[in-house]
Amino acid sequence: MNTHSLRFRMTAWYAGLLAGFLLLFGLAVYLGLKHYLDSGLRNSLSQQTRSIAEKLLVDVDHRGEKHVADEASENYSPEINGRFLRITRADSSTLYQSSQPRDGSFDATRVPILRGPVKQEFFRDEFVGGHRLLFHTFPYTTPEGRAFWIEAGAPYHPVAELLDDLLIILAFGTPLIIAGAIAGGYWLMRRALQPVDDITQQAERITSRNLSERLSVAATGDEIERLSIALNRMIGRLDDAFQHINRFSADVSHELRTPLTILRGELESIAQRRLPPEMLEMIGSALEETERLAKIVDHLLTISRLDAGESRTLKIRLDLGQLAISTADQMRLLAEEKSISLVYEVAEGVEVEGDPARLRQVIANLVDNAIKYTAKNGQVKLHVAASGGKGILEIVDNGVGISAEALPNIFERFYRADLARTRYSSGAGLGLSIVKAICTAHDAEIKVFSTEGEGSRFRVELPLASSLSLNESRANSPRAAVSNPAQ
């Protein structure tokens, strides 16, 4: 899972906010319920003590203390209700005290006796036998002036148990709710951002070769639709810009070919006359530069045509290994001049579809570069095989190599690598650009691996002809050949 994705971050923010709100809500519910239960218990005890005072003790002198005790036991039934009740005289003697509660929640005999005098009502907590009890004490003076205080108590454990149950529910329920919310939120975000993924995949397939294609636009009226429309407009502007550039390059190349041809003819005509050696040397130098400029123009025109897709007009089935060997053999003299060995490792039956002239140009450029940048007594290896539904062409040399800084730029037009390679060549830096353009026109991919001072490996991956994919294992039986230079 990509933790930097918008889907993950939004889900994480959503889950974090939800968790925070649930925790605050749970805390508020817990504190609110605790306050409500505590207040309810206190009000119940307070009402009980006041009721005893106002209904029973108000005429204790007329009905007698025994009547008060009997009425308190009968009307309030503290043993049945699990509560404690005691009425104490001013001299701290007990008029009435409830007996043991039937539920056994506490021991009534162990409740401490409150010594007077008591001037005002109050609440207190007592721990009786390890059980917490809440007591309310209410002082009362009869019309005849006799003083009493009434104590009503109740165990706190029902409130505590209810709060503990709430904590358990919150402890288990909150993570489940958060987990469900995360799963649901992630699914919703994935569904909501799916159009963005589709747009991304479509945009990745659009290159300089197919700028006429456009992204699909879902008529949803939301930001996704506006994004798709904006990207399509941008692609349209890029398409126009590429077409202008290609037309400009082609037009310039066409316009320069005629004056260069005339200039070269004039120089050759002058060179045939009887002229001083110094003049002939200058004319020869001018002819060389004119020839070099003509090659640059031809290369630019080739690249412009490739960018325009003209190389795709011819596609025939051909044997990549045979094409590679025949092309490399034509360059054997260049290798022999530098005492460089040409080694062939070519599998049989590696058939692809393409333009033979263009593919031959790719092989020639790569082999020429390998020979050019390999020192004397070096080696250039040509490898052809089939793998993964593709025809693999590799040119490997043990020459000067390419620096890591230059590798990302070697397929750019007019790019020249560092001086260690430049001194081996006087090219214009368009050869690899043509190779890249031809590969792109054939739906092929070219890769380069190089270590400076150790050599380079150029790898071209071409789609195999359709009927060959099933016979790939047969195509990987290599036959090796070595062309040794003349000694």
Which pLDDT score, from 0 to 100, does residue 425 have?
53
34-62 confidence digits (pLDDT tens): 999 999 999 999 999 999 999 999 888 88
CA dihedral defined by 383, 387, 389, 393, rounded to 10 degrees? Answer: -10
- Enumerate the domain spans of the chain: 6-162, 223-307, 314-483
SS3 309: coil
User: What b-and-e string marks burial along 58-88, b requiring 16 or more CB atoms within 10 Å of the CB?
Assistant: eebeeeebeebbeebbeebebbeebbbbbbb
Q: Is the pLDDT of residue 476 over 50?
A: no
| Mean pLDDT, rounded, for 190-218 | 81
Task: Write down the pLDDT at residue 447.
Answer: 93
d(CA 75, CA 48): 11
Overall average pLDDT of the 307-319 stretch: 70
For domain 6-162, give the CATH number: 3.30.450.20
For residue 473, count other CB atoms closer than 10 A to its CB.
Answer: 8
pLDDT class of 235 with cuts at 50, 70, 90: confident
Domain 223-307 has CATH 1.10.287.130: yes
5-21 confidence digits (pLDDT tens): 777 888 888 888 888 99
Does the pLDDT at position 233 exceed 70?
Answer: yes
Comparing 285 with 416, the larger pLDDT belongs to 285
User: In terms of pTM, does the model score above 0.75?
Assistant: no
Distance CA 445, CA 359 (A): 13
Any residues with CB less than 8 A from the CB of 111 and at least 6 apart, and which?
Answer: 84, 86, 126, 128, 133, 153
Q: Name which CATH class applies to 314-483.
A: alpha beta
Structure tokens that stand for 149 in this block: 């205080």
Strand partners, 82: none
Of 255 and 391, the one with more pLDDT: 391
371, 455 contact by CB (below 8 A):
no
Q: Does residue 428 carry a pLDDT above 80?
A: no
Confidence of residue 133 (pLDDT cuts 50, 70, 90): very high
What per-residue confidence (pLDDT) applies to 289? 78
Residues of the chain by 3-state class (helix, strand, coil), percent to 5: 55, 20, 25
Model confidence band, residue 380 (pLDDT cutoffs 50, 70, 90): very high
299 pLDDT higher than 90:
no
Provide the token pair at 214. 């456009």
Q: Residue 4 to residues 1, 10, 11, 66, 223: CA-CA distances in angstroms?
A: 9, 10, 11, 81, 21
In the chain, count of helices (H) and strands (E)?
Answer: 13, 13
- What span, in angstroms and rounded, lies between the C-alpha atoms of 50 and 140? 9
Which tens digits make up the pLDDT trace of 154-195? 999 889 999 999 999 999 988 998 888 888 888 888 888 788
